Every structure is written in C-alpha cells, then in structure tokens.
Amino acid sequence: GESVGLHLPTLSVQEGDNSIINCAYSNSASDYFIWYKQESGKGPQFIIDIRSNMDKRQGQRVTVLLNKTVKHLSLQIAATQPGDSAVYFCAERFQGAQKLVFGQGTRLTINP
C-alpha cells in the first residue's frame, strides 16, 4: 500500500546550523500534511501543518515545504538548538480519509 516514508533515519547537525528533514509520500491524493516532534519519553507534539493547496508555510523557526510534483515534504528548522533533538515524524491524510498515515521517523541529534 501507499505510505509516507522518510529518506534518512538519523540526522546530526551542529548547534546553530539549519536542519532539513525530508519526507517522501506516494499518494498524490493526499491533501494535508503534518510534522510532529517526539522527545524521549513523550508523545508526539504538533509542529506545523500544510494543506496541498500551499507550497510553503512558516512557523516559529520552522518552515514546511511541499513539492507536489515530486511528492516531497520537508521540514526546515532554523538555528537548531539542543532542545530540537527529537524524532520527527511526517504524516499525511489521504483526501477523504479520516485517519493520518505516519512516516517512519527521523532522529535529529544536535551536536554542541
């Protein structure tokens, strides 16, 4: 079946650098995407979402980019901080569906 997948399971960046976490999806009918952050021992927390009629959406230090041509979603984190260390999940909603489909997750490690 179609599912959301992540290109890299782990990513290490230097503190202060920008991070880019990627996500590939295969269902062209998906119309809504979300990024979640999960810190150790906690449940996933909402970071930012984007609908399929948008290409870019910005939040505080985070930007989500959606490229529907190649079915690619990315999360950019500016000036990463130690508190950004976590596992990041992307999720998609198939148009008309009730549930979200989650990707595998990328572990982001911030090096001092």
Residues that bind other proteins (CB under 8 A): 32, 34, 36, 40-46, 49, 87, 89, 93, 98-100, 102-105, 107
Q: How far is the CB of 93 from other proteins (least distance, A)?
A: 5
Give the nearer residue to other proteins in terms of CB position, either 16 or 59. 59
Best CA proximity match to 101, nearest among 47, 38, 40, 29: 29
Q: How far apart are CA 108 and CA 111, in angstroms?
A: 10
Query: Residue 55 Cβ, how far from other proteins at the closest point, in Å?
Result: 17
Cβ proximity to other proteins, 9 vs 82, nearer residue: 9
- Residue 107: CB minimum distance to other proteins, A: 6
Integer CA distances (angstroms), 38 to 31, 43, 52, 70, 87, in order: 23, 6, 24, 27, 5
CA distance 28 to 67: 11
With a CB cutoff of 8 Å and minimum separation 6, the contacts of 62 are: 35, 47, 48, 75, 76, 77, 78
Residue 77 vs 86, nearer CB to other proteins: 86
**Least distance in angstroms from the C-beta of 41 to other proteins:** 8
Q: Choose between 16 and 28: whose C-beta lies nearer to other proteins.
A: 28
